[in-house]
Structure 1
């Protein structure tokens, strides 16, 4: 199954008297902070889970009281607040009481304007059950990059499914991403169109605490589409998992005691600069080797199933060291970038060809540089 889904979040009205409080002091915000900050989203999505519904939310702060005081009703009547789980860059609100039905009606308290809002209860995706899957986010990445990313992981890692959150791309429609994934050899893919603020990077520490979107949507995928996947690998479009031994990143996670492994990142540059950049050209390593923060693969129903997923690991990354799979790494391709975070080009220092990376990319993508 290949499908495109439009995310229907729960948001405060534009004229609501309350909004999310900025997480950085004035001197730490930078010029684009307010433009990129998410002031109004209460929940990205609602998913049936453990006898109730979980709302996957940005960090709520004082807006938690808004949801606590709201009157929430499903098909079976009123639902009650069951509790809240707080994570580093997202929160979960758990509610229960009656049959939720397909849509929840949320009457906001007077302090938040008293408006009536609705949020769809997202339907499970059993098509991903038992599959080895990837999940990621993307905005305006070249469709050829997305195709290469998917094709590499199908051929080199045995990937079978993808859940991709398209964060408001303007270069093409989300349906075009779905078409690209459908042609990559995958068994199933869902592209979720989610045009919501990604979040700002502060100019002073903590820099990334307001980047709610990526962490929250990873966990939306975890609860909604991927809870029964065989294993799920998390990385970005500019990152390709590669194996040094006979097993894949998915097999490494499945064979781990924790049901969880991390892979070290290695920066890679293009061998030649002519023409548009492609992953397969990124076969040059820095001298000395330049490393970057790890990415991971997890068995969703394994021993760490209660831990939230984040960009570089589960929880607060406390298992990352002991979970490092020495036979796995990923190539972080410098020029596969839209420059949304900062402008990236080739390495400024000495580089040399990496035969290992070159062989891996040649085998999966062909036409190696």
Structure 2
């Protein structure tokens, strides 16, 4: 189901696929785990090119040796040499800002005999303007999980809009996500097709710095879709945000710095339950539990428009850990997973007692799920 309020968007990407050009790798061979070569993004130059006012924003994996493809003399906007305004370098992605005198339609670059080009995506922030929004990267998550996540946060926090970045799901098309969300009460839902590789799962020893997609997509969401939202919640689809202080969006808007951070704890289904598990099954404590890394909600306006978003915190000089709230948190639902990582999340055998607060909240917000 696609309507003006529930829609599918595309990226205008550029890849060197089919040419001898390959991104270099900074991870030493000894630190590369099994399947590294198959999972690494060797060819994406930019994920998306977004027109905002008189700028084009290129959101890229870490460019490394591909910097030469986005340089004076190589890059062109509608056939004219590009004017690079600024390069922003982050740990796992890069953003390049180009000046344009008028809205552009094509970007092109070349190296030797190879030439490549892409279109330019529009600024779609009007879709989320003034709304309480969330963003997610998803691959083959069951549509009913996505719908239950939405229902929980609509009822508990006043969620109004979701941006789901579908990373090449194989079990259903993007339209299935829109269908699942249609009856939840959301005002707006956008599914963005993201076909590029997620990247190698980090090894326990070494192997970092090669997983580009997630931080780049968070910042593409910020720059193209969510910079006019009222507040934006960044948690995964297996994480339910609980509260003892009302809406996390309202708390974010009222907070001094315009964001709140909070930590998570694992929640487990009963040992008697059978997969597929659902969020509502996760009412038991984890045996020998430890906190999960922080997640956050923030206002994207004002001075915060200039800071990047990362997985566990906004990229700001502020000590976000010291500002962590204890009246918000999230339950990390152990069995809501396709088990795609290298460790077995469905292999649990020790579960603690039922947590009354979790059970009451789930019964209230997800009855019958």
- TM range, smaller chain: over 0.9
> What aligned pairs does 1:127-146 form with structure 2 within 5 A after superposition?
127-146=127-146
- Asked if the contact 1:12/1:41 (under 8 Å) is kept, the reply is yes
Q: 1:43 aligns with which of 43, 46, 58?
A: 46
Residue 350 of structure 2: aligned partner: 349
Query: Is the 8 Å Cα contact of residues 52 and 122 (structure 2) preserved in structure 1?
Result: no
Structure 2 counterpart of 1:158: 158
Decide which of 3, 11, 14 is 2:15's aligned counterpart: 11
Question: Does 1:186 pair with 2:208?
Answer: no
Partner secondary structure for residue 304 of structure 1 = helix
Provide the rounded CA distance (Å) in 1 between the counterparts of 2:275 and 2:124.
42
Report the CA distance shift for 1:90/1:316 in structure 2 as closer, same or farther (over 3 A).
Answer: farther
Cα distance between partner residues in 2 of 1:251 and 1:88 = 31
Indicate the larger mover: 125-134 or 79-88. Answer: 79-88
Shift of 1:288: 4.5
Alignment-derived partner of residue 267 in structure 2: 268
Residue number in structure 2 paired with 1:31? 34
What SS class does the counterpart of residue 329 from structure 1 fall into?
A: strand
Shift of 1:357: 1.2
- Paired with 2:168 and 2:143, the residues of 1 have a C-alpha distance of 14
Give the equivalent residue in structure 2 for 1:60: 63
| Equivalent residue, structure 2, for 1:307 | 307
Contact 1:145–1:336 (CA<8 Å) still a contact in 2? yes
- Residue number in structure 2 paired with 1:281: 281
Contact 1:89 1:210 in 2 (8 A): yes
1:191-226 CA-partner distances (Å, limit 9, x unpaired): 011111100024354444211111111111100111
Structure 2 stretches lacking a partner, 5+ long: none
SS of corresponding position for 1:228: coil
Give 1:74's match in structure 2, choosing from 56, 63, 78: 78
* Greater alpha carbon shift after TM alignment, 212-221 vs 65-74: 65-74
5+ long unaligned stretches in structure 1: none
Q: Does the Cα contact within 8 Å between 2:262 and 2:296 map onto a contact in 1?
A: yes
Per the alignment, residue 99 of structure 1 pairs with 102
- Over 3 Å counting, the alpha-carbon distance change for 1:350 and 1:167 in structure 2 is closer
| Deviation readout 1:305-362 (Å, 9 max, x if unpaired) | 2111011111178532133121100010000010111321264434011111112222
Q: Please say which of residues 294-303 and 131-140 is displaced more in the overlay.
A: 294-303
The TM-score with structure 2 as length reference comes to: 0.92
CA distance in 1, matches of 2:132, 2:170: 30
Q: In structure 2, what is the Cα distance between the partners aligned to 1:107 and 1:207?
A: 31
The SS at the match of 1:68 is coil
List per-residue Cα deviations over 1:73-101 (Å, max 9, x = no partner). Answer: 139x4431122001122110011132133
2:166/2:192 contact within 8 Å kept:
yes
Name the count of aligned residue pairs: 362
Q: Is the 8 A contact 2:23 2:42 kept in 1?
A: yes
C-alpha deviation, 1:160, in angstroms = 0.3
Distance in 2 (alpha carbons) for counterparts of 1:275 and 1:62? 45
Q: Is the 8 A contact 2:263 2:293 kept in 1?
A: yes
With normalisation by structure 1, the TM-score equals: 0.92
Shift of 1:287: 4.6
Distance in 2 (alpha carbons) for counterparts of 1:80 and 1:303: 25
Using the TM superposition, give the Cα deviation of residue 22 of structure 1 relative to its aligned residue in structure 2, in angstroms: 1.4
In the alignment, the residues of structure 1 paired with residue 225 and residue 128 of structure 2 have an alpha-carbon distance, to the nearest angstrom, of 7
Partner of residue 83, structure 1: 86
- Equivalent residues in 2 for 1:235-250, closer than 5 Å: 235-245=235-245, 247-250=246-249
Q: CA RMSD in A?
A: 1.9
> Is residue 358 of structure 1 aligned with residue 359 of structure 2?
yes
